[in-house]
Chain A
Amino acid sequence: MRDDIPELQNKVYNGDTQAFKELYDCFCASLLQLAMAMVHNREMAEEIVADVFIAVWNKRKSLPQVTNLKWYLYAATRNIALNYLRKYAHKKTLQLDESYLPDYEINPEAQLISNEMVRHINKAIGELPPQCRLIFKLVKEDGLKYREVAVLLNISIKTVENQVGIALKKLTQMKGILTIPLTGNH
């Protein structure tokens, strides 16, 4: 995840549409995944994510007051998703649907670790249980705090701790991983 979010935030505040697009590119996939895990419907999830970004743009003059834009986007996605759920009254609680969780692929920009290793790890991540995979992804890839993930998914911090622990344990114990030489260590 990019580390210049505050800079983007400031540019968007100043009406920079290019920066806004960059912000969108940075968060769209993650937010869509969260929305889909909540509403189980791709079309609705797309609308939710669109609503989040439209609201950010329309309220960009208030952006300086947002201290953590990343968390703000996730929280907004969750809240708007809950609103959709209330409106359509299909589901009252969150349930993670396996069919909408993404597969993982290699990020071609980062080749620090051998391709073989990356392939194995991604395969292993793909085999984690859906909830475990989503929580692991939110913590590791999206860099959310444990308490933030707990709030987003309406689960306890203990559950987040356990699921990340389970994911790590399973991944390190994947068959084959230990036999591949590590090249990404510093």
Chain B
Amino acid sequence: MSNDRIWILLGKQLSGDISPAELLELEALLKDDPEAAASRELAGSIWQTPVQEVAATGSSKERIWEAVDQQLHPRRHRAIIRRLVAAAAAAAVLAAAWTGWQLMGPTAPVLQQLSSAPGGKSRIVLPDGSIVWLNANTQLKYEKNSFGKQHREITLTGEAFFDIAKNDGIPFIIHAGKVNIRVLGTAFNVKAYEGDSAVFTTLVRGKIAVSFQEKTVVLQPEEKLTVPVRPLATAFQQKRLQKDSSGQLAEISWLNNKLAFDNNTFGELAAKMSQWYGVSFHFESASLEQLRFSGIIDTESIEEALKMLQMSRPFNYQINGKEVRISN
């Protein structure tokens, strides 16, 4: 009974705040201490015994509510000035702290914000090893210091494909508007642009739970869930998806069908386009290879793409089957 460590660990276990290592330690300690082991059950009962304090009940509770209630109907009551000043001060404190606290840890929160370039897409590896592909005009936010340690929560605006690193201890949670998506380790697509009328979630593999207001839906692979958010509706639409002829889900085709380039030389771009279209490039002069371009090739054909490039730099091209000749 003299071993205080047992009690510390028992407390942590009962409160659900115990780590796997500590749990093992507790089991080992209890094995060596039959007396404490007998008290374990008792400690469990004590923990489950509900207690309620007397102090705050009665007059305090009513007085506070009176002050608060006046604020619910500001036009009906003119509140006491002191109250207003206090409330304003409190509101200022809250306003300042609000943003940081949404992903609060005990240390000062640092909000990490990642954005894809307008019109471009980006691949990001999060601190926990999860990989995220951001589609155009997409933002991802998370709390830098505690992400991956205490939680794995991010806020998404836009569209992204997630390949989540497995971590059974800390579920990965995505907040997309009013829809929350909870993951253990899986790959899926979320489309939640600000202008979208719904949040679209498409699961590729694994399992995810999507919750919105009080409802939760578990998605199976190759299922797509549509949650209408404008106008707000509680009805989910869940449907099984068909793969297209290339064996791909159309929902994640954006991952593949965009070729983004930013101030690349024509030579570098030609290398990318060669892979993209399965062609080979031949430049008539080295100076042509030094021309620089920025842009994206989406679903354009190679001819359309070259015409687009011609609009920013003068050159001629000739396509012969799988060969593309670039000339002055």
Query: Which residues of A does B touch, CB under 8 Å?
Result: 6-7, 10, 17, 20-21, 24, 28-30, 32-33, 36, 42, 46-47, 49-55, 57-59, 62, 64-68, 71-72, 75-76, 79-80, 83, 100-107, 109-110, 112-113, 117-118, 121-122, 125, 137, 139-141, 143, 145-148, 150-151, 161-162, 164-169, 171-173, 177-178, 182, 184-185
Q: Which residues in A have their C-beta under 8 angstroms from that of B71?
A: 54, 57-58
Q: Choose the segment among B82-90, B196-204, B256-264 that binds chain A (4+ C-beta atoms closer than 8 Å).
A: B82-90
Given contact pairs A46-B60, A79-B93, A118-B49, A167 touches B11 in the complex (Cβ within 8 A)? yes
Within 8 Å by CB of B178, from A7, A46, A64, lies: A64
Nearest chain-B residue to A29 (Cβ)? B56
Q: Known pairs A29-B53, A107-B50, A150-B106. 19 more at Cβ < 8 A?
A: A7-B213, A24-B65, A32-B56, A33-B56, A42-B60, A59-B98, A75-B97, A75-B101, A76-B97, A103-B53, A105-B54, A106-B50, A147-B106, A151-B106, A168-B43, A177-B46, A182-B41, A182-B42, A185-B45
Distance between Cα atoms of A137 and B55 in the complex (Å): 13
Count of B residues near A, CB < 8 Å?
62
B53–A168 contact, CB under 8 A? no
Q: Which residues in B have their C-beta under 8 angstroms from that of A185?
A: 41, 44-45
In the complex, 9 of the A-B residue pairs with CB atoms within 8 angstroms, ordered by the A residue number, are A6-B214, A28-B64, A33-B56, A57-B68, A100-B55, A117-B49, A140-B14, A165-B5, A167-B11
Whether B67 is near chain A, meaning CB under 8 Å from some CB there, is yes
Q: Which residues in B have their C-beta under 8 angstroms from that of A79?
A: 93, 97
Nearest 9 Cβ contacts at the A-B interface:
A102-B55, A102-B53, A164-B11, A165-B8, A29-B56, A165-B7, A51-B90, A50-B67, A32-B56
A107–B53 contact, CB under 8 A? no
Nearest chain-B residue to A103 (Cβ)? B54
B15–A80 contact, CB under 8 A? no
Q: Which residues in B have their C-beta under 8 angstroms from that of A75?
A: 97, 101, 104
B68–A50 contact, CB under 8 A? yes
A172–B12 contact, CB under 8 A? no
Most buried by B among A20, A46, A52, A107: A46
Residues 89-105 of B at the A interface (beta carbon under 8 Å)? 89-91, 93-95, 97-99, 101-104
Query: Which residues of B does A touch, CB under 8 Å?
Result: 1, 4-5, 7-12, 14-15, 17, 39, 41-57, 60-61, 63-65, 67-68, 71-72, 83, 86-87, 89-91, 93-95, 97-99, 101-104, 106, 150, 153, 175, 178, 213-214
Distance in Å from the Cβ of A38 to the closest Cβ of chain B?
14
B10–A165 contact, CB under 8 A? yes
A117–B61 contact, CB under 8 A? no
Distance in Å from the Cβ of A106 to the closest Cβ of chain B?
7
B46–A121 contact, CB under 8 A? yes
